[in-house]
Amino acid sequence: MVEELGMMGRSLWELPSPLRSGLKIPTIELLLLLLQYNRVTTWPVPIRAMSSTSTTDSSLNAQQMTEQDQVQQIQLLTSTNDDHGGVIVDIGDDLMDSTAFLSILRASISHWKQLGKRGVWIKLPIHLVSLVETLVKEGFWYHHAEPKYLMLVHWIPESGSTIPANASHRVGVGALVVNEKREILVVQERSGYFQGTGFWKFPTGVVDQGEDICVAAVREVKEETGVDSEFVEILAFSQSHKTFFEKSDLYFVCLMRPLSLDIQIQETEIEAAQWMSFDEYAAQPLIEKHERLKFINEIYLAKIDGLYAGFTPVAAGSNFSKEKNYLYLNAGGLKRCNSFIFVDSSSSSMEEFVKEFGEHYGYPNGPKSIDEIRATEFNRLQGLVYLDHAGATLYSELQMQSVFGDLATNVYGNPHSQSESSSATLDILIDARQQVLDYCNASAKDYKCIFTSGATAALKLVGEAFPWSCNNNFMYTMENHNSVLGIREYALDKGATAIAVDIEEDVHPLISEETIYLKISPHEVQRRKVAELSKGQPTGDVYNLFAFPSECNFSGLRFDLDMVKIIKENSRRISGISSVCKNGQWMVLIDAAKGCATAPPDLSKYPADFVTISFYKLFGYPTGLGALIVRNDAAKLLKKTYFSGGTVAASIADIDFIKRRERIEELFEDGTVSFLSIVSIRHGFKILNSLTVSAISRHTTSLTLYTRKMLLALRHGNGSSVCVLYRHHKSMERCHEMGPIVTFNLKRPDGSWYGYREVEKLASLSGIQLRTGCFCNPGACAKYLGLSHLDLLSNTEAGHVCWDDHDIINGKPTGAVRVSFGYMSTFEETKKFIDFVACSFMSSSNHVDHGNYLKGLKKGFLDTDYHLKSITIYPIKSCGGFCARSWPLCNNGLKHDREWILKSLSGETLTQKKVPEMCFINTFIDLSQGMLFVESPRCKGRLQIRLETDVYDGAIEDIELYGHRYKVYSHSNETNEWFSEATGKPCTLLRYSSCYQDFDKTNGTVTCRDANSALNFSNEGQFLLVSEESVSDLNKRLSSDMQKGTCKTVMQVDTSRFRPNLVVSGGRPYEEDGWRDIRIGNVYFRSIGGCNRCQVINIAQIAGQVQKSKEPLATLASYRRVKGKILFGILLKYASSDGEQQQVDSWLHVGQDVHPDSISFIAHSG
């Protein structure tokens, strides 16, 4: 029979050696089996690919077994290879014995395993279902069914199976991961269509059941390459048919952004992976032949050029399911940002946040959850998002109840007295000092706590009392607060050297004696001129001082506290220090004012000499109280000059004799300490101790990481980043390196910067409190913003000072935006902030917007039906105005318009921003009587002021306002008293006399755009014009927002809310934006641009009460923002016609035709 089999000419497969011994198959059964399997059937089944090819396996040849083994030769199951390292078996229609089938099946599987095969697919005809039991017992499982057969599958390797769960219409993803260098993450696969071709492709894979596309793309990149990434958008998708199990499938090309760059390939599927330049990737020969890949490249190039927008995921609920799902859309055509919020693969939902940070967020093991804390202790924050905890954290309402209860039930006397109440106070002070030391794990044996009026006073104390000399050095990191930099003045005045340094990051201490522990980069050495210094030579030991913050209040960077030991004990191991400091002992000062709230320094491990603390940054109350923790041996070096009550044991008034107290606290605490404030800190520490600092740190870190992650995910429609972060870490594992601070600036789609004041202004309208500027940290600000000394000096010369509005100078930001978190911060607050940034600053358009929000205006004079609807004069700046049917013009604009101002006794100009009640001061001018009449509900009589200037007895004085220098008249005491009563603030009334000199126009401080025209006390222009149609459009938007629920209450605004001089009717909304020249009657005006609106338009008079809201400014901000300004209405200046002089006797009349000329609209709208 064996000979007959050989004559059949069929290929015989040798059984694997483990099965050769003892295999007994009757000859007749062997013949039947071979007859049944004497065929080859090809059926391609891909495992994890979108297409497949078939090849017959010819690698196995029959071998003769020896007669001595008495083993019959048999044919194994005939198979074909698939594209992913598996085999496919198509069993014929003939009946077969299950026992014989089992033997051949086992032999075949053993053979495939030796060949390194992975998946085994068996296509079993329906009439052979009796073999299902046999297959299942051997590890096969049912995969799917077709009308004529069942498909069973077996996974041979011990590693996890990559076989699709079932046969259905599948979804595939391709991940185009592009880094900042325009390099693409590419792989070469061990199997598949491109196996062995040398072709580099981007990672691809299949979306798992129940998995979102955006999540699957992130997973596939991580699985294949080890690179963390985040989803940006879908660039394109395709549909193909008869691929997976003869189904129709979808394939999505996803644009991704890497969060890490290190590659760790999945060796079972991936042969190699690398970052490849896009040009090199696109130049691969196979791409030129592959039409779909060529299209994808073209799409990507259009994307980076801002000419293409893909589909971003938006969380969209369903009425049929509670499950979260996404709607992928191109948002470029949507006009309302509020209708959706951008999300990435990480999702902005609370569920996914808790999934990632749940064990860290919200005090799961604490006495109260974060929700309970907010409900019971911070009820006043409803509707408010407070994100300035680095500036001042918030006090708990229960904390304040405890404080008030304590003060209401106890009597605390001056601790310098000897009474019983004073002794009780002294005991509490002793306990309070110990609490402070315990908080920093400082032994009372080694440290003392000195109470001061704040962290700044503590720093000043060190600076004043440190033993400076011409031989010692003050070294400080660039990230220090101004209050630390101020110590430099004491050092330099005494002849010491001052050096700012940068600490090299990621340099960690090692044990080796020869290892450099710390590397610093010194800046320029600072020293005062020798002639200004004392000529006396110091004697004794030399002490240097090194100062750094435990946490930078600009970036959140936490310094490695191991520096304390390195600097104090082994300064010669600090690279870079020997070039600027050659001798002396080093003392270390840590400014822990910011860092102490979430990571107080452990002074038992890091024995710093001086540590400063601010209590309101710990728990909100009390303010005006800080502490200096000082080592006992360091305190002995401090030399105090001034003495006061409480600091001396004895003194004699008329001779030079004092005996200072010996206890460190008593020696340095001048006068009576703020003992009632000190009594209160125990109630704050009670809260921190109940939650624990470690839990607070984890809680705030989770919010910080989430915020950073979401801000980095924001992209404009052209793919450019919205946010630039200063200092970035991504994981809880490295959370010790950063505090709960996120500092950033925002960019427009064209790469220009949004001003931080614009961000702050819009955030305030949205009920979000944050901080902008440099945060009193000039070194970190310059370092992270990349500002050179020349930039800083140029900004100063341009008039930029702290807290002003000069947020962008020469195209560079002068500061940044900072959000920071406290122990009571919540996910909901963070989510609202992220939504605000996405809604207010993320452009969904794929084209770069240069600020042209007007379209379709025609050039030339417009013969439209415009009319002058009203004329309003405001005699006193920021007070009520009056309307007139006709009114004369003068060189300054409307006659007597804004001719008076009110100034406080400190010289500040009063406006409705700070004194909203000024809106109730009503004015009227009777030209025939030559009289200004003023009324106020706070004053009984009506004030009358003569218009003739020659009747003034008051002195003429000079003032500076809005970039101009004015001569003004002052009024009588009686007049000033009347206005003081009307405003509720002591003030004086001043009248414009002349504007005789422009002020500082060359250095950029002039805020007035019409600097060359004669002005009264107008901010920027002589006239403000508003369109009635534009106001009507605004009211429609306000009503629409109320109906959609984005605004709870809304009140229609009229034109008077904008304090215009001229109101026009007719035409279409916002056509006035494009006007250049305007003729009203025979009078000509020229537009000098749009009017930038502020919060004054949110002040309304309702039933005799002042009400403030966020409207209408918030709505205007949603569609009228142009390069940092919220524009509504236009500013005009009085212009001559055809070179003629202005007609000073001209009048305007209500009802006159208005003829605009928009010939230069394009130039003005850009």
- Active-site annotation, residues: 776
Q: What are phi and psi of 795, to 5 degrees?
A: -65, -40
Q: How far is residue 969's CA from residue 989's CA, in Å, rounded to a whole number?
A: 9
The residue type found at 814 is T
- Paired sense of beta strands 183-189 and 270-277, if any: antiparallel
Tokens of 126: 């329906």
CA distance 1045 to 1041: 6
Q: What is the spatial distance between Cα 738 and Cα 556, in angstroms, rounded to a whole number?
A: 5
Sign of CA dihedral 493, 496, 497, 503: negative
Interior/surface letters 675-704, b for 16+ CB within 10 angstroms, e for the rest = bebbbbbbbbbbbbeebebebbbbbbbbbb
Cα 973 to Cα 976: distance, rounded to the nearest angstrom: 5
Distance between CA atoms of residues 941 and 442, nearest Å: 67
Residue with structure tokens 């970036």?
A: 555
User: For 551, which DSSP code?
Assistant: B
Phi and psi at 252, nearest 5°, equal -110, 130
Phi first, then psi, for residue 1154 (nearest 5°) are -115, 125
Q: For 854-884, give one letter per residue: b (16+ CB within 10 A) or e.
A: beebeeeebeeebbbbbbbbbbbbbbbbeeb
Burial (CB count within 10 angstroms: exposed 0-12, middle 13-18, buried 19+), residue 771 = buried
CB neighbours of residue 663 within 10 Å? 10
* Cα distance between residue 119 and residue 122, in whole Å: 10
- Nearest 5°: the CA angle 879, 898, 967 is 125
The one-letter code for the residue type at 767 is G
State whether the Cα torsion 567-568-573-579 is positive or negative. positive
Q: Is 157 exposed, middle or buried (0-12, 13-18, 19+ CB in 10 A)?
A: middle
**Can you tell me the distance from the alpha carbon of 732 to that of 154, in angstroms, rounded to the nearest whole number?**
40
Q: Give, rounded to a whole angstrom, the gap between the first and last alpha carbons of the chain.
A: 95
Q: DSSP letter string over 571-608?
A: GGGEETTTTT--SSEEEEEEE-TTGGGT----TTTS--
Query: Ramachandran region of residue 692, left (φ > 0), alpha (ψ -120 to 50) or beta?
Result: left
Residues 1041-1071 as b/e (b if ≥16 CB within 10 A, e otherwise) read: beeeeebeebeebebbbbbbbbbbbbbeebb
Measure CA 182 to chain center.
24
Per-position DSSP letters for 795-845, written without gaps between them: HHHTT--TTSS--EETTEESSEEEEE--TT--HHHHHHHHHHHHHHH----
Distance CA 569, CA 970 (A): 67
CA–centroid distance for 113 within its chain: 53
- DSSP alpha helix (H) spans, 395-450: 397-409, 420-439
